[in-house]
Amino acid sequence: MNVTTAIETRRSVKSYDPTHTMTEAEIEKLFSLAILSPTAFNIQNWRFVMVRDAQLRKNIRQVAWDQAQVTDASLLIIMCADLKAWEKQPVRYWRNAAPAIQDFMVPAIDQYYRGKDQVQRDEAMRSCGIAATTLMLTAKEMGYDSCPMDGFDFDAVGKLIALPQDHIISLMISIGKGVQPAWPRGGQLALGEVLINNRF
């Protein structure tokens, strides 16, 4: 499947075969591609919490509007980000670069993020959004359906997964074998309404 087809056919599917299990090789492929997603300054601040425990899934479903995909999908991934990834041994993000590049990039990371909580949060959301798209398109190419989710109590889910204080949840994604198609597209806005040339 090419990228265009994956984009055109990826839909937010809500109903999954609860008996289907993805292989470890499939899971490794999925995440090996997800971690190639771009992040600013290459800080790789996303953290993927793959919820495998059945009881934990049930507990999460209770604080997620009782959405069936939480328990029924093959995978439930909670997309989190480390807000302080930028200051945790930043040299490792550029360890394979030439010394001149390291000398420029590593201090730039600190200058960009230090003391800027909103920038750190915004970057976390951007990074998770990009990685989530990579996960969903990869899943589609592999023959799986997916659904991005924000219909849940973020604080309650954070407690259930023991989210560290310096991390944030961006969204959840269910991935699995869909058993019912998504609803028809609700209505795409015209390209001319959303594509602005140069200025509003």
The amino acid occupying position 78 is I
What pTM did the predictor assign?
0.95
pLDDT at 116: 98
pLDDT at 1: 87
Domains of the chain: 3-194 (3.40.109.10)
Dmax (CA) for the chain in angstroms is: 54
pLDDT, one tens digit for every residue, the chain (200 residues)? 899 999 999 999 999 999 999 999 999 999 999 999 999 999 999 999 999 999 999 999 999 999 999 999 999 999 999 999 999 999 999 999 999 999 999 999 999 999 999 999 999 999 999 999 999 999 999 999 999 999 999 999 999 999 999 999 999 999 999 999 898 999 999 999 999 999 99
